[in-house]
Amino acid sequence: MTETVPQGLCRDFDRLPAVTLLRRLAEKPFDLTAPSALTVERLTTYRCHAAGFDLLYATQRIDERVLDALQALADEGRAIGQFLLMQQGAVLNRIEGFAGENRQVLHTACRDLFAEAPLAPETTAQAQAELVKLRAFLAELESGALTNAAGKPFADLVQIGIGGSDLGPRALSLALAAFAKPGRRVHCLSNVDPDDAAAVLKGLDLSRTLVNVVSKSGTTLETLTNEELARRAFAAAGLAPERHFLAVTGQGSPMDNSARYLRSFYMFDSIGGRYSATSMVGAVMLGFALGYEQVIELLRGAHAMDLAAAEPEIRRNPALLSALIGIWNRNFLGCESVAVLPYSQALVRFTAHLQQLDMESNGKSITRAGRDLAWQSGPVVWGEPGTNGQHAFFQFLHQGTAIVPVEFIGFRESQYGAELLLQGTTSQEKLVANLLAQMLALATGQPHANPNQRFAGNRPSSLLIADRLTPYAMGALLAFYEAKVVFQGFLWNINSFDQEGVQLGKKLANGFLAHFAAQRENFLYNGSEADPRGWALLEAAGLRAKRR
């Protein structure tokens, strides 16, 4: 199935009848500071469950009238209908009447392996075929059938990629380090800054190291530059790179080359970079670090949340409900940013992944018909793990002039179980107590005669909480945010799946590289044959190409 989305599903946000009602309700939003606001009933009722996670949203500035209006918004914008069409393979990555990528959006097909009847069977079959290849490769490593030239097992894997080929896999590998196989480590190299490559490769026993190079096109400049740096390091150590380097790339790309790579795994056009962590982009590195069965658990968790995201009733669909609450805060309460604050050190890079997922997807200013937006689209996404953030930017959250909604992420149990009982409570209990206290403090505030100690309150937040951060839970958490982002894009009537804003900078960078190359070849070159603005910037920055 490859038809485009019927235009009847692509309705302008400001023409949806529910928008008028929501604007009226936003004139006097629910007051979280009122004495009877946060009742026991509200705190226990405003709870939504799926795939092992509970979404607690009593500390948002919403009530039953707003929830009903948000339900109407989802229905009128046909959010679920578009989500199902996406899963079935409709061409959503497009702008009507204009040139674009014109692709399907099938990241959910990577984990639809467990369904009796996959919604996009061809893409799911492709994902299954790559998993079979990965399982065989990991089995060879495990059995000792595949070793280095000296017969020793590989201990390290370096993933070279950038953007979606780095942020998601890096966040997942850090999140699940507690489940790593003994003697296995993974590292990520993304920045074209040569110091990044030097720092990652320094101290590694290259003879026992694999390098996984990830690029769909096989032509990504930053990735190819870092790959060449790594290849030279292996060659300098007397090692044959083709016995150490793996590729995750598009079938038939320049990197699909068995003479240069020990193994090649495929990624497909229908799976965009920032949505690719559950494809081979993330699975190869995670398989090496955690083992095949844990990769399957990650996919199971993501699939469970994908199923929950197809529920039309927003009070039973955490991803859709969170998307709608985000729209309420952004478009009706005027909040320009959202802080994602995981109270889990393992999720130290997860917010960075969400920045790309959300801001590259929904940082758009035209509709799917190519018209300028008359409403706000995606917010600024930022954050750090708690409780460190409490001693950094929480002052701004509590008493700053900007209202920043917060999405807390927490777990009832720690990953390692290395608990310290001190003053009657464990470390994990102290962590969770801080999280819950911040939710209440942001919501209720504190009246005080001293203005320096006065907290206005009415700072909205929600909490996504599960028992423990396992591979299954991580998959569900990842899929939750993927669904949340695409739901918001559908309702805003924007294309959440291209990233044209990235391209102009890349194009201009090539002009600067031409300047450097020309200088290196001819030191009398004065930039007269190229854009004078670029030459002027090089002059102002004091940059000159160095002789080799």
CB within 8 A of 87, min separation 6: which ones?
Answer: 106, 108, 109, 112, 119, 120, 306, 310
Helix or strand (DSSP H, E) at 340: strand 337-342
CA atoms within 13 A on the CB side of 360: 20
Helical spans, DSSP H, in 77-119: 79-88
Q: 506 an active-site residue?
A: yes
| Dist CA 394 CA 341 (whole Å) | 11
| Dist CA 72 CA 77 (whole Å) | 8
- Is 99 buried (19+), middle (13-18) or exposed (0-12) by CB count in 10 A? exposed
> What is the three-class DSSP state of 178?
helix
| Dist CA 287 CA 382 (whole Å) | 29
The amino acid present at 93, given as its one-letter code, is: N
Contact 446, 453 (CB under 8 A): yes
Q: 28 an active-site residue?
A: no
Q: 391 an active-site residue?
A: yes
Contact 249, 215 (CB under 8 A): yes
What does the DSSP assignment read for 475-495? HHHHHHHHHHHHHHHHHHT--
The amino acid present at 215, given as its one-letter code, is: S
Contact 106, 270 (CB under 8 A): yes
Of the candidates 293, 506, 529, 539, the residue annotated as catalytic is 506
Of the candidates 391, 507, 521, 546, the residue annotated as catalytic is 391
Q: Which long-range contacts (CB under 8 A, 24 or more apart) does 358-364 make?
A: 358/481, 358/485, 360/274, 360/499, 360/501, 360/502, 361/274, 361/485, 361/486, 361/489, 361/496, 361/497, 362/485, 362/488, 362/489, 362/492, 362/494, 362/496, 363/501, 364/489, 364/492, 364/494, 364/495, 364/496
Q: Which pair of tokens denotes residue 4? A: 């485009």
Contact 4, 369 (CB under 8 A): no
Of the candidates 130, 222, 227, 360, the residue annotated as catalytic is 360
Catalytic positions: 360, 391, 506
